[in-house]
Structure 1
Amino acid sequence: MIGKIEFKKRRDFGQVINDTFTFMRQNFKPLLKTYFTFCGLFVLASMSSMLVYQYKMVNMINTVGSDKSSGGFSFGNIYGLEYFLSLLFSLATYASMTVAILSYIALYVQKGNQIPTMEEVWGYFKYYFFRIFGSSIVLILMVFIGFIFCLIPGFYLFPFVAMMFPIMVIENGTFGYSFSRSFTMIKDNFWVTFGTLIIVWIIVYACMSMVVLPTTLFNMIGMFTSKNPQMSLTLSMITTVLQSLCQAFTIIPIITISLSYFSLLEQKENTGLMERITNFGNTNKTIDTRPEEY
C-alpha cells in the first residue's frame, strides 16, 4: 500500500505525473469538497452567464436569414454583456480554484500530510484570493500577447506563469517576487516542467472532451441532417452545463504544478531532505518512502 504523498522530495517526469493522480485519488473527497465549498458560487455564476450567452447565440444562429433575425452577427450582438460576464466569472472560478487547491496543499504539507479543515483553508483563501485574481488578469494578458507573436513566446511563458501561483500561496510571494522566483526555479529544468504540464493538460482536456462529446455530436448531427438546419437549444444548454462542471478536472494540473514546485525547490535548497534528517527516528509521521532520484 502506497503511503501518503510526501511533497518535499525530488521527482522526475514520470513520478510527478504518477504522484499527481495518486494524490488526487487519496484526497478525492476532501479536494472536491474544497472545490465546491470555495468555487461553487463562482461556478454557478459562470454557468448562468454562459447559459444566457448560449441561449442568445443559438437563437441568433437559428434565425439567420429569417424575419426574426435582429441585427445578425454584429459585434454588439456577439460580444454583449453576458459574454464579458461569462469571461469574468470564468476567470474568478479558475482563480478561486487555484487558491483553494493550493491552500489545501500548503496546509496539507504544513500539517505533516494531514487533511486540513475547511476553516483552515478559508483562512488562506480569503488572504490570497484577490492577489491571485488580480495577478491572473495580468498574466493572462501577458501570455495572450505572447501567443500573438508566433505562439512561441506564449508557450515559453506558460510554465513560468503556472509556477508563480504556488510561490504566491506557499511562500506568500508578491507578484514581482513570484515572477522572478519562478524563472530562477525553472530555468535549468524548463523542458521537464513544460513537458509535464503539457502532458497533464492534454489528459485533462481529453477527459473534458469525452464528457461533452456526446451532446456536441448529437447537436451537430441534428443540425446538418435536417432539412432546416438548426441548433438544438436543449443540447446546447446541456453541453454548457457539462463544460462548467468539467472545470473540476483542472484541479489536476494545479496538483501537478505543486509537485513540480516542491521537486524543484528540493533540487535547489534540499529543504525536505534537511527536514527528514532533523526528524529522523520520528515514527509518528507517515511519509512516502519511495527512493528519490538525484
Structure 2
Amino acid sequence: MQQQQKIELAKTRDLGETISDTFVFVKQNFKPLFKAVFTFCGLLLLATAVTYSLQQVKLFEYQKRIFDNQGFQSFDTMFDRFGIEYFLSMFFIMLNYSLMTNVVLSFMALYKQKGNIAPTNNELWDHIKYYFIRIFVGTFVLSILSVLATVLCIAPGVYVSPIFGLVFPIIIMENTSFTYAFNRSFNLIKNNWWTTFGTLFVMMLIVYIGYMIFSFPTIIITVINALTHGTKTAATSAPVLIVITLVQQLGQVLFILLLVALGLCYYNLNEIKEGTGLNDRINQFGTHHPDSNLPAEEY
C-alpha cells in the first residue's frame, strides 16, 4: 500500500480542508506528537487533576454543610469556601494550557523547518524553553482581555476569540514578540474572519463532542453515586469526585486537535497574505538546508 504523502503546512485551505488536514496531521504524527505532549505536560496534567479534585471535594463538603442546615456564614471568605486548592488548580490549568500550546505549535513549526519530519523531544525542548515566558505571559494577558471583552458584551468576546487565537502561532512560527504578534493577528485575519471563526468553531464543537463521549463513564458514575448515596456523606462521594476529575483531565488531550487546527489556520492566512509557502518551495529547488537554529526575532 502506498504511503500517504506528508501534510504540507504552508498552503491555502478552505474550512473543510483545514478540518480534514487537522485529523490527517494528528494521525500521521500521532506517536511523536502525543509522546511530546505527555512528556512535557504529563506532570502538569496530573497536578491539575489532583488539585482540582481536592478543590471539588472541599466545595462538596462546604455545600453539604449548608444543606445540613449548618448555614451559610456571611463572614466566610472565598478562601473558606474554595481553599488554596482552587487557586492552585487555576494556576495549573493556565500553566498547562500555555505549555500544551507551546508544545503543539513548536512541534508544527519544527515539523515545517525539518521538511515535514516530526521533531525529536530534544529539539522541542529548546523551542519550548525559548518561548515559555512569552506564551505563559501571553496566556495571562489574553485571558484577561477575553474576559473584559465578554463582560462588556458577548459579541466583542466572540469577535476577538479567533484573533487572539492567532497570537500564539505568530509568536512561535515567526519568532516575534507578544506585542508584534498581537498587532499582526488583526492584520492577518482581515477579510478572512468568518472562515477562521467557522473553522475554529467547528473544531471546538468536535472537541466538545469528543470530550463528552470521553466523559460519559463519569456521568454514569455520578448518577449511580447520587442514586445510592445522595447527599448522605461527603466521604462516600469524595472518591467518586476524584475519579471523575481525573478522567475529565485526561480528556484535555483532545485540545491538541484545536491547537493543530489553529496552527493550520495561521498557515492558511499567512499563505493568503504572503505566499511564503510557495516562495519557500521555489527557493528550495536544488538546495539543501540543514537544521538551523531559532530565527532572529521580528518586531
Q: TM-score, normalised by structure 2?
A: 0.88
> 1:274: how far off?
1.6
Question: Is 1:4 aligned to residue 6 of structure 2?
Answer: yes
Paired AA for residue 135 in structure 1: G
Q: How far is 1:234 from its partner?
A: 2.5
Between the aligned residues of both structures, percent identity stands at: 40
Identify the match of residue 267 of structure 2 among 262, 268, 277: 262
- Does residue 84 (structure 1) correspond to residue 87 (structure 2)? The answer is yes
Q: Is 1:213 aligned to 2:216, yes or no?
A: yes
* Match of residue 34, structure 1, among 36, 47, 52: 36
Counterpart of 2:51 in structure 1 is 49
Match of 2:193 in 1: 190
The whole-number CA distance in structure 2 between the counterparts of 1:43 and 1:218 is 22
Q: CA deviation at 1:61?
A: 3.0
Letter of the 1:118 counterpart? N
- RMSD after superposition: 2.4
Return the match for 1:169 from 164, 167, 172.
172
Q: Report the Cα distance in structure 1 between the residues aligned to 2:254 and 2:273, rounded to whole angstroms.
A: 30
Offset from partner CA, 1:174-207 (integer Å, 9 cap, x none)? 1110011111110110000001001101111111
Give the Cα–Cα distance (whole angstroms) in 2 for the partners of residues 65 and 183 of structure 1: 50
Q: Quick one: distance in 2 between partners of 1:248 and 1:227?
A: 32
Following superposition, the deviation at residue 116 of structure 1 comes to 0.7
Contact 1:222–1:229 (CA<8 Å) still a contact in 2? no
> Equivalent residue for 2:68?
66
How far the C-alpha of 1:235 sits from its partner, in A, is: 2.2
| Stretch deviating more after TM superposition (48-57 or 130-139) | 48-57
Tell me the distance in 2 between the aligned counterparts of 1:135 and 1:104. Answer: 19
- Distance, in Å, in 2 between the alignment partners of 1:265 and 1:239 is 41
Deviations 1:227-261 (A, max 9, x none): 75667322221110012111111011110011111
| Aligned counterparts of 1:173 and 1:227: Cα–Cα separation in 2 | 54
Instruction: Output the amino acid matched with 1:57.
Output: L
Tell me if structure 1 keeps the 8 A contact 2:166–2:262: yes
- In the alignment, structure 2 segments of 5+ residues that lack a partner are 288-299
Contact 1:64 1:72 in 2 (8 A): no
CA distance in 1, matches of 2:74, 2:30: 46
- Partners of 1:139 and 1:230 lie apart in 2 by 41
How big is the shift at 1:221?
5.0
Q: Quick one: distance in 1 between partners of 2:12 and 2:103?
A: 24
- Conservation of the 8 A alpha-carbon contact between 1:167 and 1:173: yes
Q: Distance in 2 between matches of 1:76 and 1:129?
A: 30
2:9–2:264 CA contact under 8 A, matched in 1 = yes
Checking the alignment, whether the CA contact within 8 Å between 1:61 and 1:230 is kept in structure 2 is no
In the alignment, what sits opposite 1:271?
A: 276
Task: Give 1:70 shift.
Answer: 8.8
Q: Please name the residue that 2:126 is paired with.
A: 123
SS for the counterpart of 1:64 is helix
Matches within 5 A, 1:132-151: 132-151=135-154
SS, match of residue 144 in structure 2:
helix
Unaligned runs of 5+ in 1: 283-294
Seen in structure 2, the aligned counterparts of structure 1 residues 227 and 190 have a Cα distance that, compared at 3 Å, is closer
Secondary structure in structure 1 of the residue aligned to 2:176: coil
- SS of 2:109 mapped into structure 1: helix
Q: Please list the CA deviations of residues 64-94 of structure 1 after superposition, one character each: whole Å capped at 9, or x if unmatched.
A: 3438889599433333211011000000001
- After TM superposition, give the deviation of residue 271 of structure 1 in Å: 1.1
User: What is residue 247 of structure 1 aligned with on the other side?
Assistant: 252
Which amino acid counterpart does residue 242 of structure 2 have in structure 1? M
Match of 2:15 in 1: 13
Please tell me whether the aligned partners of residues 59 and 82 of structure 2 are also in contact (alpha carbons under 8 angstroms).
no
